[in-house]
Amino acid sequence: MASESPVRHRQSPRRRSPSRSPSPRTKRLRRAQGERVVGRSRDREDSRGREKRGGERERERRRREGDKERTRRDVTDVEVGDKRRRGSGREETEERKRAGADDERQTRGIRERSPSPLDRSSRKSRRSPERAPASRHDEGSNARGSGEEPNDEDDSIAKMKAAEEALAAKKKEEPSFELSGKLAEETNRYRGIAILFNEPPEARKPNKRWRLYVFKDSEPLDEPLQLHRQSCYLFGRERRIADIPTDHPSCSKQHAVIQYREVTVEKPDGMVEKQVKPYLMDLGSTNKTYINKDPIEPQRYYELREKDTIKFGNSSREYVLLHEGSAE
């Protein structure tokens, strides 16, 4: 009987189960975990960046403070050096002054103590024989006591100081001949009336025979007014002081003044000479003064020229300025 061969059953290999896809919940957990990891890494980077920036800011702040401190120290050193230099300069100046004063004192003392050869010879000639031994005795005593110097320097300094003090006191006591306010006011009065005008230092009498021709409504009135006998002429309603009265109601009591002044004039050839010219000044009148129908500013000189026409206030009179050489 045939033996039965053993039958080997081949085991079939295990079939691997296909990988299962993670569930949505697992995906969400993994995603959340990854986001947490990324967030933590970002937080670490941000914290490191903040620390780095904070360190840089701190270093910048310390550097600025160090610069300020160095600048403050430099300024302080410069100020101290300037003070020291100024102090040393003052000390040197004072030392020079003291040295110069000492030299001057020594020179004066030597001049006072050292007689000239002529003085010595005259002194020797005037000595009598009877006093010769005494003089020798005096010379010996002076030779023995030569260690003590006479106090001539202090005496000369005291005399100089006394002279300076006397000179200063004399200067203080010198009278002042300038006019005070009251005295100037009194000198600027005429017939009890205060004059609104003072003549300038350059006031002079004219060289030409100037004249004022008076017209009213284009018709001449009276004779021309002579303006060459004095250095200034006052116009106004106050007849007690006015040189040329202007009786119109619109004119002020002291309306205007014609002043002759010596001025420097340059010739066409470049040479310079002095001439006396007439000037008109309004004295702050109410209704103004006019030159050729143009009003002038008060308290200001205006040069007058030949054939100029002057009007005062609202008066219809016109004053034409001419001189003896003017063409008729």
Looking at residue 13, its pLDDT comes to 52
> 199-323 domain in CATH 2.60.200.20?
yes
Looking at residue 328, its pLDDT comes to 55
CA-CA-CA-CA torsion sign (234, 237, 238, 240)? positive
Looking at residue 107, its pLDDT comes to 61
Q: 235 by DSSP, 3-state: which?
A: strand
Which range is most confident: 126-135, 212-221, 290-299? Answer: 290-299
Looking at residue 171, its pLDDT comes to 61
4: which 2 tokens? 């039965």
Amino acid at 199: E
Percent of all residues in the chain with a pLDDT value above 90, rounded to a whole number: 32
**What are 110-150's pLDDT values in tens digits?**
555 545 554 555 455 444 444 444 444 444 444 444 444 54
- Could you tell me the pTM of the whole model? 0.45
The structure tokens 């100081």 sit at 161
**What are 76-95's pLDDT values in tens digits?**
777 776 667 666 667 777 77
**What are 37-66's pLDDT values in tens digits?**
888 888 888 878 788 877 788 888 888 888
Which range is most confident: 7-11, 72-76, 286-290? Answer: 286-290
User: What angle do helix axes 152-173 and 24-113 make, rounded to 10 degrees?
Assistant: 100
Strand 193-194 relative to strand 189-190, pairing: antiparallel
**Side-chain half-sphere CA neighbours of 215 within 13 A:** 13
C-alpha to C-alpha distance for 75 and 81, rounded to whole angstroms: 10
CA-CA-CA-CA torsion sign (160, 163, 169, 174)? negative
Spatial CB neighbours of 60, under 8 Å, sequence gap ≥ 6:
none
